[in-house]
Amino acid sequence: MAAPDGAAQPASEGRDDEIVTAAVLIIGDEILSGRTKDKNIGFIADYLTAIGIDLREARIVPDIEAEIVDAVRALSRRYTYVFTCGGIGPTHDDITADAIAAAFEVEIGHDPRAVAILEAYFAERGIESNEARLRMARIPAGADLIENRVSRAPGFRIGNVHVMAGVPSIMQAMMDAVAPTLKTGRKMLSETVPTTLPEGTVAGALGRIQAAHPDTIIGSYPYFDGTRHATNLVIRARDAALLATVADEVRAMVAALAPAT
């Protein structure tokens, strides 16, 4: 269990060859209606990549308990970690904590640690303590709290599922609180080779380089820069020497295919 102040636990040491995986679950009708544009998946993707955890899947589901339960169960079985965002505020549509308790088949009630954090905050700020606000202290039995340095109402961790706020600034503070508790794997490194050659010109040679180096993941990402289509070729590998070798091959391939200037 976390200390009452929600302090992070020491992380397990990741073995250097271990691959640690994760999924993100965004909970909220407002994302699916288009009213709010999600910014959390991209942030968490960057964050996890930086600390050596592979984000393998993301889902967005509505504020419906059965949907949240199904998604949490499916994702928590498959990946080392699950990170949820959204649905832990004080209003009637904030049902994430109840859904997580249902997914883990545990009781849920007002957690004394969370009540203490909230009551102290309310007293300090002259905020009325009411039934709705204290809903934010409802935490599934057996969960650790996740500290919220922005607005105090904590997130929580139960099993391999980390339950965080949907407001990006609060979610980001919670990720910082969670990160030291995570085991991390061998980092995926990447190198980008930009080219103004279209994908169709490099595709054949690029596919041959990928086939020759199965321990790398080579991606081709076309984009339109406003006047023409161009491509970023991204080589990913966990081994720095292999990455450098393959990136050199890709650069040489691009140079050989580029029209003489």
Name which of residues 211 to 240 contact a copy of itself (CB under 8 A): 211, 217-224, 229, 234, 236
Kindly state the smallest distance separating residue 49's Cβ from a copy of itself, in Å: 5
The smaller minimum CB distance to a copy of itself, of residues 12 and 129, is found at: 129
Q: Which of residues 150-209 bind a copy of itself (CB under 8 A)?
A: 150-151, 167, 169-170, 188, 190, 198-204, 206-207
From the list 71, 26, 86, 79, the residue with the least C-alpha distance to 55 is: 79
Euclidean distance between CA atoms 55 and 250, whole angstroms:
25
Q: Which of residues 12-31 bind a copy of itself (CB under 8 A)?
A: 29-31
The smaller minimum CB distance to a copy of itself, of residues 57 and 65, is found at: 57
What's the number of CA atoms in the CB half-sphere (13 Å) around residue 35?
Answer: 5
Kindly state the smallest distance separating residue 193's Cβ from a copy of itself, in Å: 13
First to last CA, the chain: 64
Euclidean distance between CA atoms 85 and 27, whole angstroms:
6
Which of 6, 14, 52, 89 touches a copy of itself by CB under 8 A? Answer: 89
3-state class (DSSP) for residue 234: strand
Strand pairing report for 161-164 and 155-158:
antiparallel
Kindly state the smallest distance separating residue 220's Cβ from a copy of itself, in Å: 4
Q: Which of residues 104-123 bind a copy of itself (CB under 8 A)?
A: none
Kindly state the smallest distance separating residue 166's Cβ from a copy of itself, in Å: 8
Euclidean distance between CA atoms 235 and 51, whole angstroms:
18
Please, what's the b/e burial string for 48-72 (b: 16 or more CB within 10 A of its CB; e: otherwise)?
bbebbbebeebbbbebeeeebbebb
The smaller minimum CB distance to a copy of itself, of residues 146 and 170, is found at: 170
| Cα dist from 224 to 68, 203, 228, 230, 231, whole Å | 36, 17, 6, 6, 9
Q: Rule CB under 8 A: is residue 51 a binding residue for a copy of itself?
A: no
The smaller minimum CB distance to a copy of itself, of residues 2 and 153, is found at: 153
Kindly state the smallest distance separating residue 58's Cβ from a copy of itself, in Å: 4
The smaller minimum CB distance to a copy of itself, of residues 143 and 206, is found at: 206
